[in-house]
A and B are shown apart, each in its own frame.
Chain A
Amino acid sequence: MLRIEPAVAISDRRELTGLSLSMFRLSQWLASPRPYLMVVGFALFLGFWYMAVEVWKLPRFEQLPGPTAVLREWLSSNPTYGTSIYTSDYYVDIWVSVRRVAIAFFLATALGVPLGLMLGWSQKFKEYVFPVFELLRPIPGLAWVPLAIVMFKGLETPVIFLAFLASFFATALNTMLGVQSIDESYLRAGYCLGASRWQVFRHIVIPGSMLYIFTGLQISIGVCWFSLVAAEMVSGQYGLGYLINTSYITVRYPTIIIGMVTLGAVGYATSALVRLVGDYMMQWRVRELALGGQS
């Protein structure tokens, strides 16, 4: 955990907001050993991959493309298997996947957060809706594929729908737990101070469940990618899942790895973005943590 020296914290903390605070944190991070340990971790992983595949040719690894082969293919202006950073198809695949995830995640959040808030806030609403919700939630995304294709026209909407579903359940459930986790005294304090039921909802319930909501969104963006790739492998055209699947069928092994690594990077980026938005919206939490959780 990042621990700011007390002297710095007291003099600077209150001045720093938004971007300058982020820059401050970045400089603290760079001054700590953490980024360098991370680099070592990556080096060990890539080193093992290289040795296992290209030098030792270990059983089970001998069929795999090694890191140099993947890198050569990836950076080649004239790739053997047709996909590299110089081919426009690569970017079409990335863009199509990102767009699908963005739409699915946006819809899941826009519907899941209000549903979760309602479930947590109104006992009556919960009694109507939650049993149905809990019955639908464990159904794996892939089981929805036939229905999705029957329900939605075209190739695009079924894929988005499948990515949406998993994401939606994760968000709604965590939001509900967030509302339920709010300490009763906050609500009581609100009423004591003269807030109406709506004001308590707006000023206590929503911000009070924010921590859980963003935990939910972290999970949600993850499962969104997960089901998107599964859906792209089953149906749909373009997209990173589609790229991986067609590369497998057409025996383009380095391209599979390119697709996988790209998914990892793009997935990480979207996840980091969600975290960043969360930190921005919960400055109070960030500041508490910066003090080392002192209370």
Chain B
Amino acid sequence: MLQPIAKPRPTAPRSGALRIDQVVKVYDPDGAAVLAVDHCSLDIRAGEICIVVGPSGCGKTTLLNAIAGFHKIDSGSIFLDGELLCGPGRPQAEPGPDRIVVFQNGALFPWKTNLENVAFGPVMQGSLSVKQAHEKARSMMADAGLSGTENSYPGEISSGVRRRVEIVRALMNDPKVLLLDEPYRALDSLTKSVMHEALLEIYYRNQVTIFFITHDLEEAIFLGHRVVIMTSRPCKPKKILQVDIPHPRRYDVLTTPRFRALMDETLEAVHEEAIKAFVAGEREG
């Protein structure tokens, strides 16, 4: 992973702006309503890496699921590039290839080869023939340093490589937004650092908007343009931190005083919420 990192594309992307406006989500599994997300508003700029951190079970994933269209919201609205995804009269967004989720535990289909996995989107949508899709998948995998894994199954490659394949599978569809739900949670810290640089490299090439949930503050500051610290349940932004370290970033920024200062600032805000969540006894999730 020591190749020179690609230069950011000069032109800012025109699409992929997410607007979360006064979103409320209530869970009511057994008669006792639990407010998971409370009038949460957040503007994510096109082509931005927006990192969301917060205590376990604070409702970050709920927010992500609402954007992806996996479940309903109870009020408020979410827009993508000015178009309503969900809101009044339309409680649940339609899941689609403009917003692709990379899951916490990985969701490559184990019964398809890596190549078939990557080609899955365009083949299903009918936007490319199987042959074209495989060609495109092969070249995108080569760009991401995944040559040689095409004909293996996901069960045969390491979890770090699997996560990269999954991100390439998402990018095959030219999504406007990538929704990553703690994608590196299960990885060891060495693999993680490699994955972070790989993700940035992919980002510099594609400039897709990234909505990234994590617990890992170092990860958050290293990757993000902005870090949104959420309150303990119900979830809403407590503090938004501008990470003024210029992109492209490499792993050596971790040791700079500025990085440490940002870490301290984040840690303080997060710690407060973590204690609240701990006292409230939220279930991790």
Contact = CB atoms under 8 A, between A and B. Distances in A.
Interface of A: 13-14, 183, 185-186, 188-196, 199, 203-204, 207-208, 210, 282-285, 287-288, 291, 295
B84 to A, nearest CB: 19
B220 to A, nearest CB: 23
Given A188-B70, A189-B107, A194 B155 contact: no
Contact of B124 (A183, A195, A283): A195
A145 B97 CA distance: 55
Contact of A284 (B100, B153, B159): B153
B55 interface: no
A194 B124 contact: yes
Interface in B76-117: 95-97, 99-101, 103-107, 109-113
Contacts of B164: none
7 contacts: A189-B101, A193-B97, A194-B96, A194-B121, A208-B109, A287-B155, A288-B156
A191 B159 CA distance: 23
B37 to A, nearest CB: 19
Contact of B152 (A14, A191, A204, A285): A14
B173 A193 contact: yes
Interface in B118-143: 120-121, 124-125
B248 to A, nearest CB: 28
B109 A204 contact: yes
B68 interface: yes
A11 to B, nearest CB: 13
B25 interface: no
A185 B109 CA distance: 10
Given A193-B97, A193-B169, A195-B124, A185 B107 contact: yes
Contact of A192 (B97, B104, B111, B152): B97
A196 B111 contact: no
B151 interface: yes
A288 B95 contact: no
A217 to B, nearest CB: 17
A283 B121 CA distance: 22
Contacts of B124: 190, 193-196, 199, 203
The 4 nearest A-B residue pairs measured at CB: A288-B155, A193-B121, A189-B107, A194-B125
Given A191-B95, A192-B101, A193-B97, A186 B155 contact: no
Contact of B101 (A188, A284, A287): A188
B156 A207 contact: no
Contact of A185 (B105, B111, B151): B105
Interface of B: 68-70, 95-97, 99-101, 103-107, 109-113, 120-121, 124-125, 151-153, 155-156, 159, 169-170, 173
Nearest to B97: A194
Nearest to B68: A192
Contacts of A191: 69, 95-96
A188 B95 contact: yes
Given A193-B100, A194-B97, A188 B107 contact: yes
Contacts of B173: 193-194
A189 B103 contact: yes
B15 to A, nearest CB: 17
Nearest to B111: A207
A287 B156 contact: yes
A217 B125 CA distance: 34
B268 to A, nearest CB: 34
A194 B153 CA distance: 22
Contacts of A196: 124
Contacts of A195: 120, 124
Nearest to B105: A185
A242 to B, nearest CB: 42
Nearest to B99: A192
B96 A295 contact: no
A273 B80 CA distance: 53
B155 A291 contact: yes
A167 B211 CA distance: 49
A192 B95 contact: yes
B110 A288 contact: yes
A110 to B, nearest CB: 22
A183 to B, nearest CB: 7
B276 to A, nearest CB: 29
A179 to B, nearest CB: 14
B159 A186 contact: no
Contacts of A203: 109, 112, 120, 124
Contacts of B101: 188-189, 192
Given A186-B109, A199-B124, A287-B156, 8 more contacts: A185-B103, A190-B124, A192-B101, A194-B96, A203-B120, A287-B152, A288-B110, A291-B155
